[in-house]
Each structure stands twice: as structure tokens, then as C-alpha cells.
Structure 1
Amino acid sequence: MQSNDVGATAANAKETVYFGVPWEDAYGYAQAIKLGDTIHVSGQLSHDEKGSLIAPASLDKSGKPAEFSMMEQQMRATYANASKLLARFGTTLDNVVEETLYVLDVDAAFAVAGKVRKEAYGTARPQCASNLIGVSRLAFPEQLIEITFTAVLSAAEAKPR
């Protein structure tokens, strides 16, 4: 994972974090941005350190996912990637106040989301608002889920590093 961007100014004291995957430069965005006491995490997906998708869905002849059995594996990897980004700011999923799951199949997501979310957050009742939205397409055809996060830090955690 690439270091935080040191280009922050007093007027724009953003700290940014990147994974170093190809689509960051191709699309032009940061994986996460900290501004004051808030961290905004861009849509995360299931990829490894090199940017290869983890548990990609098989595609049908039209290039759409043929089945959704990889939803759980993709969801686990997505939460793991978000955790890595939050750790770069010295925090964890405990600071997440809201998440939005974008999924290609709502039923497949509901079937595994409770279990995976509880494990990711380490509690039977995660303390964050959660939205689950069905969409027709995500960035990569083999991708079944993408999750965005907003985390809020305590006053001590929010101090610039």
C-alpha cells in the first residue's frame, strides 16, 4: 500500500491513502481521504495487493455474472481491504458510522451479509448505519459487491500525523 499523500495544505488538510492498483491512476482517485475527524473510504472491492480480483464471478456469454456464489468471499475481501485502509489512519472498523453496500444481487448479499458483517466488525450488532443497494453493474464485470465507508475519529485520533 502506498504512503499517505503529503501534499496537504492548511486550507486543504486532506490526508490520502492509495493501494497502488492500476485503476487509481486510470480513474484518478484516492482509496481514502481523511479531512478533520472524518475518513471517507472510496468504494472497495475484493482485490489483492497487486490489483487482481479475489473470487471473481464467472461470466456468461454476454459478459454478465453467471452466478453469485462468490458473494461471501468477495464481501470478506472487501471488508479486509477497508480495514487495511483504515489502519493507515490508525483506526479500525470500530470508527465506521456508515457503510453502503452496492450489490448485483440483493438476495445473494442478504444471504451472507449478516454473518460476514458481524465477523468483520467483531460484534453481533455492528454499530454503524448500513445501506444495501441493488445495482445493475459495478466497475469490473466479475465484481459482485462494492462497499463505501465513512468513519469518524475521536478528538485524539483526529490529530494530523
Structure 2
Amino acid sequence: MTTNRQAVRFGPFKEFIANGVKIDDTIYLSGQVSLDNEGNVVGAGDLGAQVRQAYANVKEVLAGFDAAMENIVDEMLLLTDIQEAMGNIEQLFGIRAEAYGGNPDVTQTMVQVAALAMPELLIEIKCIARV
């Protein structure tokens, strides 16, 4: 059995981590956080701004495979404060709907974690897409 494998790497950690890996028709994205392409945190202390930037990064990775948000079938939100997220759920899901262009038919898991890679980060979004 031959497996068609392709990786997309860019940004400050490209030497160490692939942003996404496509195997046949499935794309696995590394967790996307609120960093710009130089590795600077965008929206420190602002969950809404971080959600928006993380989804922008998801879109950028998908574009590297000629895919888009509509190709996502599963997403996991890793949050440092799930109570804050639930208290702002309308804002969170409003930004999510903006990113997807509506309310998507996507499975989702939302979990709280003790910490993310940098102390300023509040959310990480990990996705699987099919093309």
C-alpha cells in the first residue's frame, strides 16, 4: 500500500514542527495558537482576539494544501480557562462562525489544559480535515 504524504511548514517553528500533514485525503493540523509568523503572541489576555488569530492560522495551514475551512471535519479547542470560555461562549462561537462562514457541521471537543506553550496563550485549536 502506497501512502501519499505531504507536509506544510512555515513560521517560527518550521524547523521542528510541521504545521500540517496530509496523508491521502486527510489533513492533520498541528494545534494552532495566536502567534503571528514571527512567533509573537497576538491578543495577550484577550480570548476573542486569540480565537480569531488561531482560526486565521488554521486557514493559512489549510491553504497550503489547497483546502479551506469547509474541509474541516473535527476540531479540538484546548483552553487554559474553560470557565472564561463558557462565560463568553456566544462571542467564542460567533468568531468560530465568522471563520467558517456559518455554523459548521464539525465535531468538536473542548477541554481545559493546565498551560499552553507560552504563558500568554489562552487557546489552541487542533483540526482534522478531509479533501
TM-score (norm 2): 0.91
Please report how far the alpha carbon of residue 11 of structure 1 lies from its aligned counterpart in structure 2 after TM superposition: 4.5
Count residues with an aligned counterpart.
128
Matched, 1:118 2:92: no
Once superposed, which parts of structure 1, at least 4 consecutive aligned residues long, lie more than 6 Å away?
A: none
Cα distance in 1, alignment partners of residues 34 and 121 from structure 2: 8
Cα distance in 2, alignment partners of residues 19 and 143 from structure 1: 19
Percent of paired sites with the same residue: 34
Consecutive unaligned residues in structure 2, runs of 5 or more: none
Q: CA RMSD in A?
A: 1.5
Any conservation in 1 of the 2:35–2:54 contact (CA below 8 Å)?
yes
Aligned pair partner of 2:59 in 83, 106, 112: 83
Matched, 1:14 2:5: yes
Aligned pair partner of 1:72 in 48, 58, 69: 48
Larger RCO (alpha carbons 8 Å, 6+ apart):
2
Cα distance in 1, alignment partners of residues 44 and 54 from structure 2: 12
Matched, 1:37 2:25: yes
Aligned pair partner of 2:114 in 136, 147, 151: 136
SS in structure 2 opposite 1:75? Answer: helix
Structure ID, larger Rg: 1
1:98-109 equivalences under 5 Å are 98-109=74-85
TM-score (norm 1): 0.75
